[in-house]
Amino acid sequence: MQTDEQLDLITDFLRCRRIAVAGVSRGSGSAANAVFRRLKDSGFEVLPVNPNASQVEGVKCFPNLESIPGEIDGVMVATHPDVSLEIVRQALRRRIPRIWFHRSVGQGSVSEDAVRECETHGVRCIVGGCPLMYCAPVDFGHRCMRWWFGYPRP
């Protein structure tokens, strides 16, 4: 994917108001929780998703995307890659138009099957990177990761 197209997808995703974050943990140290907090602090309505938690960081948590009432503008997938395909299928059933697969080092949440499922259904997904690379204020570490991994600059 060209970096201009990638930046367009990221910009579009960050225009969302209501974002589900799949993969949040009951503990606060996971990447998904960091994404959850930053999006929340940036003014988004953030909906945590974890089938094993009723609450995450003081916010009601949902077991899956289908249990969330109302419209969802986008989903941040920050799960183990083995779970990503199921999250995509839930998003497709909900007609969620934007999907972002978190990845910094290693595979992250990216699953070839999940990406292929998005493509099959005409959903242009973001494969890799992290909203922390784009939600102001961007910390030094995430600016460096954006540069190091070649993600587009805003």
Angle, helix 81-94 to helix 112-120, in steps of 10 degrees: 20
Q: Which of 1-5, 6-10, 112-116 has the lowest mean pLDDT?
A: 1-5
Residue 139 lies in a domain: yes
| Structure letter (DSSP) for residue 104 | S
Alpha helices in the chain (DSSP H): 3-13, 31-41, 81-94, 112-120, 140-149
> If you average pLDDT over residues 8-21, what whole number do you get?
94
Residue 119 lies in a domain: yes
Q: What is the pTM of this model?
A: 0.91
Query: What's 87's domain CATH number?
Result: 3.40.50.720
Residue 14 lies in a domain: yes
Residue 88 lies in a domain: yes
| Structure letter (DSSP) for residue 71 | -
Residue 58, domain extent: 3-149
Residue 141 lies in a domain: yes
Label residue 1 by pLDDT band (50, 70, 90). very low
Residue 154 lies in a domain: no
> If you average pLDDT over residues 83-95, what whole number do you get?
97
DSSP assignments along 115-153, one per residue: HHHHHHTT---EESB-GGGTSSSPPHHHHHHHHHHTPPP
Asked if residue 136 has pLDDT above 60, the reply is yes
Residue 41 lies in a domain: yes
Predicted confidence (pLDDT) per residue in 27-48, tens digit: 877 888 999 999 999 999 999 9
Residue 17 lies in a domain: yes
Q: What is the pLDDT of residue 20?
A: 98
**Residue pair 19/76 in contact by the 8 Å Cβ criterion:** yes
- How far apart are alpha carbons 64 and 48 in whole angstroms? 9
Number of domains in the chain: 1
Label residue 75 by pLDDT band (50, 70, 90). very high
